A and B are shown apart, each in its own frame.
Chain A
């Protein structure tokens, strides 16, 4: 049973479209993260959270919003999608005592036309 799940697994939208990516973890972890992965780059941190209602800005936050509604659920919102946001998105979670040991979901592939 996967501890970090993401939906949808694939998404196609048009420029200017509104997209929500969902992530749920059953690890009882406090920390959750959203990354994007592009060819030639490592995973880059978009936003992260250390609990319900909390949001922290990562390294590449422009064009993204995020919301942590519960300990389990973390959402990434693209309100005006652009082709530059075409990417593979990963969600992850970690325990407060070992924050840099993260557990990842399977990823969502987003294509913005």
Chain B
């Protein structure tokens, strides 16, 4: 079946440092799945951070970027300069068409702590 693998946490970086959280996927049911990054802040539910549906395209939001690379089947999340408020759990996911309806397949999440 489909799967998503991402950087194991926890990850700790200092404020204003750069960040990369790796994500690779394996999709068997669909050639070019939609790819997502969701974020979960403490005490809250997951929120969509960014979504890219076209291979080769880049998505961006709140200073984060991710590029859909179909050659390496990757969708790494990057930010040039993190802030303390970016501390959260980040989930990579792909959209899978199974049993006639779309579902999300999630990675295990990466806990990010940004130190002031």
Binding site for B on A (CB under 8 A): 4, 31, 37, 40-45, 48, 50, 56, 58, 90, 92, 94, 99-107
Q: Chain A residues near B96 (CB, 8 Å)?
A: 100
Number of A-B residue pairs, CB cutoff 8 Å, is 59
Most buried by B among A4, A43, A50, A107: A43
CB contacts under 8 Å to A, within B67-116, are 91, 93, 95-96, 99, 101-109
* Contact-size category for B: 20 to 34
Q: A100 touching B45 by the CB < 8 A rule?
A: no
Main secondary structure, interface of B, reads strand
Q: Contacts A42-B106, A43-B104, A100-B36 given: A56-B99 contact, CB under 8 Å?
A: yes
**A42–B101 CB distance below 8 A:** no
> Which residues does chain B contribute within 8 Å of A56, judged by CB atoms?
99, 101
Q: Are A90 and B46 in contact (CB-based, < 8 A)?
A: yes
- Residues of B participating in the A interface, judged by any CB pair closer than 8 Å: 4, 34, 36, 38, 43-48, 51, 91, 93, 95-96, 99, 101-109
In the complex, the answer to whether A101 meets B109 with C-beta atoms within 8 Å is no
Query: Do A100 and B91 form a contact, CB below 8 Å, given A42-B109, A90-B45?
Result: no
B106-A107 in contact (CB<8A): no
Question: CA separation between A37 and B99, bound complex, in Å?
Answer: 22
Closest Cβ neighbor of B33 among chain A residues: A100
A102 and B104: CB pair below 8 A? yes
Minimum distance in angstroms from A97 CB to a CB of chain B: 10
* Chain B residue, CB-CB nearest to A99: B102
Which residues of the partner chain B approach A99 to less than 8 Å between Cβ atoms? 95, 101-103
